[in-house]
Structure 1
Amino acid sequence: MNEGVNVPMIENVRTSNVQRFAGFGALYDQNRPTAPQEVVKLLTTYLQRKPQTVVDVGCGTGLSTFLWLNEAEQIIGVEPSDDMRAVAVSKWEASNKPDNMQFVKGLSHELDLPSASADVITCSQSFHWMDPQSTLREFARVLRPGGVFAAYDCDWPPVFDWKIEEEYKRLLTLGDARALELAPTEQQAHKWNKEEHLQQIRSSGLFRYAREIVFHNWETCSAERYANLAFSQGGLQTALKLGADELREELTAFREQVNEAFGGEEREILFGYRLRMGVV
């Protein structure tokens, strides 16, 4: 845990962060963006070979895990949330159970993997929920020499219309605030600052090279999906689970605004990505 970060005991934080994602795995999986193929191209460029083993930590519903299906000899998705992992396993079963992929329960700071056994470790939309320094020590242990770690996230909201984006951000801020008000202190989730990911990698002293790469991906989107992207955010989901029913009216109003903006048609939206990586 970072010095100067005023958070509860780290074990409570880990438990609360896992619980934040309980109960909406299907909604998350159906609406969140699939990890773009550029991730594979970028990381294999730095690895300089096809990876034998890729470990996707905090893999959620597998949106960032299946990306590697034909790109690595072995793929391991690690996810502590039973709800999220169950969706990933269901997708794996529906894909004829590829024998080079598995999903396991685990936490980032104590992976049940041998030392020097992985070529690539990724955290897609997840590293900010992990204690960075203990996690990076564990990743450095598991990676082979020359292996690559990458934490990558997309910016919210996706690019579409400035008025809709303003409402999206307002809704997320409201959800986070209500979740903070309603959750007992010992049950509050803690999010580490994404803007400090690169510095965390560098200051760990575990990586010989580190940098940030920015890229983007266009996707076709319906009004329903765009509204559900906001609805799938953890702060809103937490606030609703804790009884902030007044947010449902806000969500309904947002859906109406999105429907009007989309005009009954699918639209192209852009997801901007920031990837912070290190080579051991």
Structure 2
Amino acid sequence: MELDDAYANGPHIPGGDGFAAIWAAKAAAFRAAVQGTLNQPYGDRPREVFDLFAPEGAAQGTVVFVHGGYWRSTDKDLWTHLAAGPLARGWRVAMVDYDLCPDVTIPQITQQIAAAVGVIAARYPGPLRLTGHSAGGHLVARMLDPDIAGQWLTRVAGVVPISPLADLEPFLRTSMNADFGLDQATARAESPIHQPVPSVPVTVWVGGAERPAFLDEARWLGAAWGCEVVVRPGRHHFDIIAGLEEAGSDLTAAVVGQRGR
């Protein structure tokens, strides 16, 4: 359909087909080396689970990471290595899973993430910092809608949507909508750009070498919310998240609300 290529990433990234295998190997190695509490339930469905990794000693708070995959692919086990940076900075990291389209709708996934954050907030003290990539960036941005969030919203100290999908109306013109089942009203209701401007600090992160549509989506959110948009030169959709593997990266610093080393 009209906008399929605009939102296609892999075909436009050199070696794009190989990134999933690289991430899977890194994630498995991280889980083998770092003890975590895996597959903690936040609901009754098999994918309503999260993994929790905690630093030695008292944690400064909890970073919640929500993976991408266009709401219809991947799971938390592909991204575990991205906990490394915040963990090394003294933060717990919760890696959240959720059901996928077309088995559920995007509004249902939004509610799942809200439920997950609620369980995590009830179980672990301290401030919450939310981050997610691509569709995960959309989902953490949705958590700032007062109609979605619970009382835990007062504990959210910052949000970093990475390459977020902030306006879902363009997806009405993609073949992916066969899985999403969006109509005009639902696409608008699920678009963070139409939410109330949050009082929580937000920094949008995006790669300078991403598809123009993703640069647009990031800038639309920045304009709608009046928040900072960081464009990292040379980074594409698959390596923009790599900074989360490193304690000293600017991205990790932004996520945990501290200055880079």
Structure number with higher relative contact order (C-alpha < 8 Å, ≥ 6 residues apart): 1
**Is TM-score (shorter-chain normalized) higher than 0.5?**
no
TM-score by structure 2 length? 0.33
TM-score by structure 1 length? 0.32
